[in-house]
Amino acid sequence: MLNRRQFLASSGAATGLIAAPPRRPNIIVILTDDQGYADVGFHGCRDIPTPHLDSLAHSGVRFTNGYVSHAFCSPTRAGLMTGRYQQRYGHENNPIYNPRDEVAGLPLEEVTLPQVLSQAGYATGLVGKWHLGAAPPLHPLRRGFREMYGFLGGGHDYFKTQMEGEAREYLIPIQRDGRPEPLTDYLTDALSREAVAFIRRHRADPFFLYLTYNAPHTPQQVTEKYLSRFTGIQDERRRNYAAMLSAVDDGVGQVLATLRELELDSETLVFYLSDNGGPTAVNGSRNDPLRGAKGAPFEGGIHVPFVARWPGRLPKGKVSHDPVISLDIFPTSVAAAGVKPPTGRRLDGVNLLPHLAGKAGAPPHGRLYWRQGGGTAFAIREGRYKLVKPADGAVQVYDLEADIGESRDLAAERPELRDRMLQAWEAWDRELIPPRFESPRPAPKKG
């Protein structure tokens, strides 16, 4: 059966009267959860094969200096959805899972990428983790998504849900378009299945798919199918982590295979990244050669695997060393779709298309900024240099081109550089507002 575009093209050829209208590109954002910087083949990982993620990188653009806008989960997702530093609107913490709390989540006055694309005629779908508010007004179906399969909280059990009573966050029912349903498959496989189904349903439409795997986030649960691939890894946490990441890689392979089958490859812009650095002590991930882990403003918390692929439109196999950030996904997607960005608000992200096509002389960003805890921890990157202030330490300065591991502090040696970068960060900080809500406190330990 011909799809709409093929039908119009064939009809036009037959009659000479109708020409197929140019199709707007599909856009897919694939986001993993708590994946380590080092844990992909294209970054040199040897104990966890990631052939499909590697193929994505080798056929697109790999950003060696790809960043997210926060060192942990929900704030990064808020920034990605809006193209704006999330501290501008107070989304600086993880929201508590509370369906009665209308403040803990992405503020309603913010305009999301799916809202912009949906208004332009895109089919918009979320498959996976939301974590931008659990109250009804904050639901993804009210924030621009027309379809949704996944869960609202910050994580989920991979095998079960609680269908009756008031469930804990990790056992809440999986939702399909706002209606609860039981989980009948391994969750990572279910998300891959639903992503493929969404693509098939909308093969004739321009679509935006936000595929947000919760793997390899804890709990470390996995099927024997994936675990059996890693019997040679002795450390149990690392072995479980490898199996969970392998399930994600298989799912990405299914998505890419579906695009090829439906001849949508050249019509689809795909982004792939992690929401923050790996929490190495928790799930066995690795961020080397970077310093630190999830939650820290050092490179290991914010520097992530980052790929963009659009066959025929973006260079194949290109390696870009310019610093880019997850905020860039919004303006790049809007530009690719030929849609005007929302008016009356400042986008902090940059359209990367002219930079990747060699049509822009300067790097995409002069500076990148980070702030946590209302300013208890922060960082700024300017060219090759980075100033960082951890929550429990003093201001430090590093030359990332010479010292990606942030091991040699130049603050005392280069006071003029330190002071200039600190002043730049303080000027940016004055544009922000305090956090609107606090992260939930961890449950007290038993005993």
> What CATH number did the domain enclosing 227 receive?
3.40.720.10
Is 206 found in the same domain as 86? Answer: yes
Is 228 found in the same domain as 147? Answer: yes
Structural tokens at position 142: 């009210």
Residue 275 domain-assigned (yes or no): yes
Is 294 found in the same domain as 400? Answer: no
Is 417 found in the same domain as 292? Answer: no
Query: At 356, is the secondary structure helix, strand, or coil?
Result: helix
CATH (domain of 400): 3.30.1120.10
Residue 436 domain-assigned (yes or no): no
Residue 233 domain-assigned (yes or no): yes
Is 374 found in the same domain as 341? Answer: no
Residue 35 domain-assigned (yes or no): yes
pLDDT at 419: 98
Is 262 found in the same domain as 351? Answer: yes
As a whole number, mean pLDDT of residues 57-62 equals: 97
Residue-number span of the structural domain to which 221 is assigned: 25-356
pLDDT exceeds cutoff 70 at 2: no
Contact 175, 159 (CB under 8 A): no
Beta strands in 26-87 (DSSP E): 26-32, 61-63, 66-67
Banded pLDDT at 21 (limits 50, 70, 90): low
Taking alpha carbons only, the member of 21, 4, 58, 59 closest to residue 265 is 59
- Angle subtended at Cα 422 by Cα 420 and Cα 426, rounded to the nearest 5 degrees: 120
Residue 9 domain-assigned (yes or no): no
Residue 362 domain-assigned (yes or no): no
Structure confidence by residue, pLDDT tens digits, 263-290: 999 999 999 999 999 999 999 999 999 9
Taking alpha carbons only, the member of 208, 209, 210 closest to residue 339 is 208
As a whole number, mean pLDDT of residues 41-60 equals: 97
Contact 85, 69 (CB under 8 A): yes
Across 301-340, b (16+ Cβ under 10 Å) vs e yields bbbbbbbbbbbeebeeeeebebbbbbbbbbbbbbbbbebe
Global pTM value: 0.94
Beta strands in 33-152 (DSSP E): 61-63, 66-67, 123-129, 147-151
**One of 43, 52, 131, 303 is an active-site residue; which one?**
131
**One of 70, 73, 139, 303 is an active-site residue; which one?**
73
pLDDT exceeds cutoff 60 at 255: yes
Specify whether 45 is catalytic. no
End-of-domain residue from the set 356, 389, 408:
356
pLDDT exceeds cutoff 70 at 109: yes
pLDDT exceeds cutoff 80 at 152: yes
Is 148 found in the same domain as 89? Answer: yes
Residue 439 domain-assigned (yes or no): no
Structure confidence by residue, pLDDT tens digits, 187-238: 999 999 999 999 999 999 999 999 999 999 999 999 999 999 999 999 999 9
Is 323 found in the same domain as 283? Answer: yes
pLDDT at 28: 98
Please report where in the chains the tokens 């950003």 appear, as a residue.
63
Banded pLDDT at 345 (limits 50, 70, 90): confident
Query: At 41, is the secondary structure helix, strand, or coil?
Result: helix
Structure confidence by residue, pLDDT tens digits, 407-431: 999 999 999 999 999 999 999 999 9
Residue 20 domain-assigned (yes or no): no
Beta bridge partners of 128: 150, 212
pLDDT exceeds cutoff 90 at 164: no
Query: Phi and psi dihedrals of 331, rounded to 5?
Result: -65, -30
pLDDT at 443: 55
Angstrom distance (rounded) from CA 332 to CA 354: 10
Say if residue 254 is exposed, middle or buried (CB neighbours under 10 Å; 0-12, 13-18, 19+): middle
Mean residue pLDDT of the chain comes to 94
Taking alpha carbons only, the member of 148, 153, 159 closest to residue 188 is 159
* Tally of domains within the chain: 2
Angle between helices 187-201 and 236-261 (to 10 degrees): 10
Specify whether 139 is catalytic. no
Contact 349, 325 (CB under 8 A): yes
Is 405 found in the same domain as 284? Answer: no
Contact 158, 187 (CB under 8 A): yes
Is 383 found in the same domain as 348? Answer: no
pLDDT at 447: 43
Is 316 found in the same domain as 377? Answer: no
Share of the chain above pLDDT 70, in %: 94
Taking alpha carbons only, the member of 65, 3, 128, 42 closest to residue 385 is 65
Is 178 found in the same domain as 145? Answer: yes
